[in-house]
Structure 1
Amino acid sequence: VLDLPGTYSLSPQSLDEQISRDVLLNRLPELPAPELIVVVVDASNLQRNLYYATQVVELGHRTIIALNMVDVAENNGHEIDAAKLADILGGPVLPVVASTGRGVPELRERIIATLSGDEKTKPRQFCQFPGPFRIEATKLADLLAETFHERRVQATAEALLILSNERALASSGAHYPVNIQGAVAA
């Protein structure tokens, strides 16, 4: 189990976010690729936190979304349909209140079941991009998949991240060989 620093995006704004991104993209050679990612989302501020959750889901890892602080969301008049959210995201979404333990046993059971099962994650892409951008992203994804021997879905998500945010490449240039840096610059 590895507890990563809290973050709101795979486009790092701080060293903590850069470390989290590099772990999720398996860019730290001293760490194995994640077997399962549990994204803890503040249910009282879903709009801000679901962006990050969708980015993680797009990486193609087995992912569980833990909606924490559902009690606060409910007290603020928000009703969250976890089943509908799970359907949209393509994976389990569990409401929890960590401070009281509500939902934690169910989350623990789901983690164990997911790790012990052969269940594969359905690749999801939440945004569609215009033709020229999509073509460049596909070329870069091919290069990333070949260079890092990663799954196609992760390579595509990473290519979109790099092409849509110049700071993503700049913050981790050491992880990318010259051929990838050159492809992005072109």
Structure 2
Amino acid sequence: MKEGWIMKKNLYLSAVWLIITLLATGLVLYFLRNFLPNDLESWFSYSGLIAMIGWVILIFGPRRWPLLSILPAYVFPAVLSLGYVILILRHFGPAEGGYNTLADVAKLLSNDHILLAGWVHYLAFDLFIGAWISRQSDDAGISRVVQAPILASTFMFGPLGLLLFLMLWKARKLILDIPQSITKGAGQ
């Protein structure tokens, strides 16, 4: 009986925390959307700098400092995502184009604000995926020397780096499973 109450309490606390987070995020976005500069080159430079610092930490930073690992994994992608949301809130409505055809996407991206939002979108997601790759690689015992080119590929070409990691991860698992298969076969 007590365990059920604790689970309900945790669920309620999680729901309250989610509501508070969403309200706080909404308020921040509302107030920031009108006060941030419209200078696209500054947005481009700052977002690139944030992403570059994150990638340098991922590739060269020591992973034994958890706070340092949190920056490229969560903080920097969140900041970039916030920038993306602000750009979209300010400029998506009046932009022409859409997602139905390639021509519509080209028209949508002909708006410099939306193009910048798309770029920031790439930076945020690629960095987040790079951090995920580094965590999974560390957990699997994959050397940082092997991780570096995969992370660099993810930084430069996103899905290519992810594909390389997934192939390495699966191949490593298959290779590690071979001795178990041999042992099972010998025991029969």
Higher fraction of strand: 1
Same fold judged by TM-score > 0.5? no
Higher fraction of helix: 2
TM-score under structure 2 length normalisation: 0.23
Greater Rg over alpha carbons, structure: 2
